[in-house]
Structure 1
């Protein structure tokens, strides 16, 4: 005689994955369709562009390592030359891997709270189901696609941290071609100049092995705090929308309306590290530049002006995405790096890579001597 099957009055609902809140494959495909292809060029010009970018990436390796006085592991993989769609696919994968544990944690907290309320009320926990997750993921994926498509037209190069796999140096060929045409600079010089900046980022993360995991962990930790709980999403959206006019006028930073004071303090510490990385890359590229790039002064002057000269729509989008802060990182970080090198030399500056404790704090970026005093005594 078989035992009777016992069924629960409240069957367990389908597991909900935070990762399903964004359909990253859908976002990548949609963004690739939205992104314009870039400037027109014939096959010969494209071949020359790709070949020169590869050569520039290879040439930059030793130039940057010697100037920065940092030792990197041998056998650096060659830079990957991509179009805008390739950049989108790479970054959608990296963003998905970066945010997956963050979104899973947010959803787990929400489900735990829902379960507790349901048990107290004697009700079944609502089943969100796979279909609902798929719809939600595509809606959010559509929003992400719009951001990815726009940013894909701006980025010249990138060191992809690739939380899900192997980090890689990328050059976005159509954007480099568009920039050098717009600036009317020597193409070969400009390509090497861009390679020097991006190669410095590769050197930072390969010569300092702990830095990649440190930044990924910090980003995930802050992300889990900054993202509002799902039940508070509506209230937060009302608050954000009410303050958007101030962001669009340049009166407020986007982080001021998406984070609490405590969260902004943590964001400021990560921003300090990003200022260090971007400023260091700018300083190294300009240190190397005069010896190998005849037109480096002209390139720097025109490129700095280009950073300031975005159109009205472009400026609005930059403010909404927090990219104005990114521009300040180059400027503030470079001032910090130059001041420290002037005070203690390159070897003394390189103490910044010795540990997470030695990284500059938010208050030290505008006050380099405070960092020197803390680290060097």
Structure 2
């Protein structure tokens, strides 16, 4: 498939909704090289070992027991697009056209925007813990993905050993599995706010409260993961973080624009803000107190408390 196939898929988008998800998959796949996915036995064993070791270390550090996902996939970029198109469709698929006037144009525009987003992410995502929010089947609990072509390429670009880089990614994603394992109520909490936000958009409104609560929850998720990584990873990794950040800053203006449009700058802000919150809590108390955040939905810090950890401590400790 070629770029022209991608454009054709977008311009012929059809259906009743505001996004043609079949066309999204076809267009994003056509625009992205799938990448090499031939793993040696040693590499397959390495992924399994990294995930297993990460689970052990994170359990020890956090003091919580959790299961790693049954679904652990080493993917190429097309595999990742397939999995995440399904995720986006679950979240946004309830949006319907509001009238025949501009429905076709809006569908093409939205389909194109989603295709560009997925193609960009497929070329850049390294690993992903997927809680499979809004999944219809109760057996689909969560999944863990590693995009091998991206891991190999970025390790080479950063001039670091691929095995060490892969292990770092595995540890980070397993910390997210620990959070959702410690807080079985978390998927429902996130799903409710996502649905409220999407429903409001479908009505032409912006539900700022739901979006604020969703952002606060995700900030806690990202910040706690960073806290665990600092304590669980069995190697120094500041050099890896610095190289990844330098690579991100060195991207061209188009990539920077796409990242901004996708909200990836906000995700970086969630990392930084959440980590600062939990570091303050641990310094003032300990990691067990920080872990209280997963005790119940009401234990999550509010948006204001994220910038005033002592207020959160006074409320829950």
Contact 1:64 1:284 (8 Å CA) reproduced: yes
Greater share of residues in helix: 1
Tell whether 2:85 aligns with 1:92.
Answer: yes
Partner of 1:60: 54
- Distance in 2, Cα, partners of 1:271 & 1:32: 30
Contact 1:307 1:327 (8 Å CA) reproduced: no
SS in 1 for 2:286: helix
Partner of 2:126: 156
Q: Normalising by the residue count of structure 2, what TM-score does the alignment of the two structures yield?
A: 0.84
Partner of 1:364: 305
Tell whether 2:158 aligns with 1:183.
Answer: yes
Partner of 1:245: none
Shift of residue 288, structure 1, vs aligned partner: 1.4
Contact 2:151 2:162 (8 Å CA) reproduced: no
Residue 48 to residue 306, structure 1, CA distance change in 2 (3 Å):
farther
Partner of 2:4: none
Pairing partner for 1:278 from 222, 230, 254 = 222
Contact 1:94 1:161 (8 Å CA) reproduced: no
Partner of 1:254: none
Shift of residue 139, structure 1, vs aligned partner: 5.6
Cα deviations across residues 36-72 of structure 1 (Å, max 9, x unaligned)? 334x68x56x665444223212221111122121222
SS in 1 for 2:54: helix
Shift of residue 170, structure 1, vs aligned partner: 0.9
Residue 143 to residue 29, structure 1, CA distance change in 2 (3 Å):
same
Residue 308 to residue 278, structure 1, CA distance change in 2 (3 Å):
farther
Shift of residue 158, structure 1, vs aligned partner: 1.1
Partner of 2:173: 198
- Distance in 1, Cα, partners of 2:42 & 2:104: 43
Shift of residue 273, structure 1, vs aligned partner: 1.2
- Distance in 1, Cα, partners of 2:293 & 2:73: 29
Contact 2:69 2:144 (8 Å CA) reproduced: no
Shift of residue 226, structure 1, vs aligned partner: 3.2
- Distance in 1, Cα, partners of 2:69 & 2:30: 32
- Distance in 2, Cα, partners of 1:136 & 1:309: 34
- Distance in 1, Cα, partners of 2:151 & 2:264: 19
- Distance in 1, Cα, partners of 2:166 & 2:75: 14
Shift of residue 317, structure 1, vs aligned partner: 1.0
- Distance in 2, Cα, partners of 1:370 & 1:136: 45
Shift of residue 335, structure 1, vs aligned partner: 0.9
Tell whether 2:292 aligns with 1:348.
Answer: no
- Distance in 1, Cα, partners of 2:224 & 2:72: 20
Contact 1:183 1:303 (8 Å CA) reproduced: yes
Tell whether 2:20 aligns with 1:27.
Answer: no
- Distance in 2, Cα, partners of 1:310 & 1:135: 32
Shift of residue 136, structure 1, vs aligned partner: 6.6
Q: Which runs of 5+ in 1 are unaligned?
A: 1-17, 112-127, 230-258
Cα deviations across residues 82-115 of structure 1 (Å, max 9, x unaligned)? 11111111111111112234x15xx5xx58xxxx
Of structures 1 and 2, the larger Rg is shown by 1
SS in 2 for 1:185: coil
Q: Which runs of 5+ in 2 are unaligned?
A: 1-14
Cα deviations across residues 207-246 of structure 1 (Å, max 9, x unaligned)? 21110111011111012223453xxxxxxxxxxxxxxxxx
- Distance in 1, Cα, partners of 2:16 & 2:277: 38
SS in 2 for 1:159: strand
Cα deviations across residues 135-165 of structure 1 (Å, max 9, x unaligned)? 9756633331111101111211111122224
Pairing partner for 2:241 from 294, 300, 308 = 300
Contact 1:158 1:198 (8 Å CA) reproduced: yes
